Amino acid sequence: MASSGSSPRKPAPIVARRGSGVNWPALLIVGTLVAAAGWYVHQSRRPEPAPPPVTKAEPPKVVEIPKAPEPVKAPEPVPVAKAPEPAAPAKMVTETPKAPEPAPELPPYAFGGAALSDPRSFAALVEDARARIKDGRWEEHLVRLRKGLLPALAATPASDGVERHARLWQNRSFALGMTQALFIRRVTPEALRSGAEADRRVAALLSDLVARPESLEKFSLMLRPEDDAAEALRIWATLDADDPPALRGRYENLQIACAVVFDRPLRWTRFDGGAACEAEPIARYRHYRSASEAGKLAGDVRRAAPGDLVWVVGATATEEEMAWALANPKLRSLSDWSPSYGMIRYRMDYVTQEKTRLPKPSEGTLKEIFEIGGICMHQAHFAANTARAYGIPAAYVTGDGNRGGHAWFAFQRKDRSWSMDTGRYNDGYARGDTTDPQTGRRIGEFEVEILGDPQRRGERFVKSQRLQLAAQIFADGGEEAARHECLRLAVAAANRCLEAWRAYAECLESPAARPAPGEWKAFVTEMRRAFDDWPDMRELADEMERKHLFPAMTQDEVLLTCKRAYDRLISEKRRRGAYDRTRYDLIQKAVERESAVLVKDRAANADRLASLHRRALEENADHVPTFRALLDGYYEAVRGDGKLEGLFLAEIERVYKRRLSGGGGDVFRQQAVLGLLDLILGYFEKCGDADRARRLQLESEKLRKNLEKMKK
């Protein structure tokens, strides 16, 4: 039996038969070693064998194996007890190891043929989008969507016109694909990644949202270039998570409106030196949600469109002020919001600065304005923000007219049309401005009013928006002709969709565009026809005409076009009815366009230039702000030419004495005329006519004395 000092055991050791006296394993090992040593000595004394005969070498066989191949080993020498001396390595041709090939590109999603009726298509889109929330590969998802949507859109028959893609949109998978693509593009992949990583509420909202095409489309179409999409998404997720289970999904439109308004801080300063204020999105949302659930609102914040609700949640009043408004019995009794403007007592002592025993406001809250009163800005602020407190879309509007600056308010009626004239004066206040709560930009009041246009609530408006989305898919795929056609159809589907006109103009102006002969002329003509009752919107048509039609026209043709535009506006002014809706601002721009053409050769057109401005001053002297603006344009046209400057001064003095001298009217009118006189005196000083300046200075002093008397 082997002793304990023998070699380690192996799985199947050889064991001698019990009772034998010979140690057979040891004998076998010794014998093997002796034989091996003898063979080695014999081999070392033999001569080197002759090399094998040279045969034609065969090319090495390359065997492709799916996994990484095992290294090829050189033939080993005949095994011996001792390892052989290392031989010089044989020269072999080896390949440089290749880097791992990238994962194959995933196929596009299918949105045509059998895929449209396969319920697995919708589920796959949802599942893949949810996977992107975890891995962040939104760019890859967007590429797959675009590559699948493009052929599906292109395959629709062109003969269907504005209905071209309507059948596709009826399919849930296609609708989800289009809205996911829109959502990713508007929010951006980076914002989706960072939002999901930073806030679990965003990830939870996205997980639910990527399966709801209606919600994706609604939120995406609300976003504007000025919006912070990532912050808007975070706010939406915060508000959504704040809902108790019983209210989940009930106030989605309100959440979206809050998200796009509060993506940047909403701050304001109260009138009369009150404290600066800032609203928080969660507090604002809870105010409306609670008031709605309690049945205290006049507006329906559950069903109203997000675009209307931004004019509610953007209220420049605190939640405490709005709670006061909801409890005020006079406001609660209103069935129409127009009387709210007149609820505020007008304080003429604010205007004349006369001494009074009446209390002065110290905080400028809605309650204080209601109790103490104020002027037009207080009235408009009170009316607009109490309307918003009750869930009614409203706007604080300001404008300039014959009695100086003024403030009024606009609000949405129950039929969703807008009332624009509450508190407006009827003497030259046909156009006002307001602040867009979503973007913070100043916009014309008619951009608000058009929100109530019936066309925007119809099915064709939806088709126009979706044709614009299709145009974007074609643009991303480099299909400019298809993009062009989609936008042409978008305008045809809803000709008062201003967004479609702007996108159509941008397409025609792109470097790859090839507008058909006469297309720009048709664009201008059709847009003016579409917005015949919306003069603010004609400005885009005027701009396109100047850029794309004027260069191909003679100077006389351009001047005739400008003159016709001016004459039309003056004709409308003469036909005005009981309410003065003259668009003096557009009259001013028409004069500026014609003057800009004449000034290019001022020496040759001196007489025509003087005639143009003389006529404009005479026909618009009844509107102080326009007269003031026309003076500035006239001076810029003649500045530096002594003869023309003399004619300019003579015309100012003549028209002023015939149409404006003495001020007349109330204190507001006299203040406006006094401001105009100060401007005129400045022009006389610039042109070096001291004598005329002294004569007008006397009239200015007379007006000041009249205003001083009113303070006593």
Rg, C-alpha atoms of the chain = 42
Which two structure tokens, joined as six digits, stand for 266? 């909403």
> Looking at residues 376-398, what average pLDDT do you find?
97
Burial class (CB in 10 A: 0-12, 13-18, 19+), 411: buried
> Looking at residues 592-619, what average pLDDT do you find?
89
pLDDT score of 709 more than 90:
no
* Other beta carbons less than 10 A from residue 689's beta carbon: 16
Domains and CATH numbers, the chain: 113-222 (no CATH), 266-452 (3.10.620)
Q: Name which residue leads in pLDDT, 699 or 138.
A: 138
Query: How is residue 218 annotated by DSSP?
Result: H
In sequence order, the 6+-apart residues with CB closer than 8 A to the CB of 17 are none
Percent of the chain with pLDDT over 90: 54
pLDDT score of 377 more than 60:
yes
pLDDT score of 39 more than 70:
no
Strands 266-269 and 404-412: unpaired
Which two structure tokens, joined as six digits, stand for 616? 């404009």
pLDDT bracket for residue 104 (50, 70, 90): low
In sequence order, the 6+-apart residues with CB closer than 8 A to the CB of 140 are 106, 132
Question: Which of 680, 679, 674 shows the shortest CA–CA distance to 662?
Answer: 674
Q: Answer whether 331's CB lies under 8 Å from 340's CB.
A: yes
Q: Answer whether 266's CB lies under 8 Å from 279's CB.
A: yes
Q: Quote the Cα angle for 561-565-569, to 5°.
A: 165
Please state the separation of Cα 286 from the chain's center in Å: 26
Q: How much is the pLDDT for 538? A: 79
For 114-144, write each residue's pLDDT tens digit.
888 888 999 999 999 999 999 999 999 999 9
Strands 266-269 and 442-444: unpaired
> Looking at residues 486-506, what average pLDDT do you find?
95
Burial class (CB in 10 A: 0-12, 13-18, 19+), 243: middle
Query: How is residue 374 annotated by DSSP?
Result: B
For 633-685, write each residue's pLDDT tens digit.
889 888 888 888 888 898 888 888 888 876 666 788 888 888 888 888 889 88
Q: How much is the pLDDT for 712? A: 55
Please state the separation of Cα 566 from the chain's center in Å: 34
Question: Which of 294, 200, 286, 302 shows the shortest CA–CA distance to 251?
Answer: 302
Q: How far apart are CA 179 and CA 174, in angstroms?
A: 9
- Map residue 504 onto helix, strand or coil: helix
Q: How far apart are CA 206 and CA 234, in angstroms?
A: 10
In sequence order, the 6+-apart residues with CB closer than 8 A to the CB of 608 are 559, 598
Q: How far apart are CA 617 and CA 250, in angstroms?
A: 57
pLDDT bracket for residue 395 (50, 70, 90): very high
pTM of the model: 0.81
Buried b (16+ CB within 10 A) or exposed e, 254-268: bbbbbbbbbbeebeb
Using the structure block, give the residue that is written with the tokens 């200015």. Answer: 700
Angle between helices 306-313 and 281-293 (to 10 degrees): 110
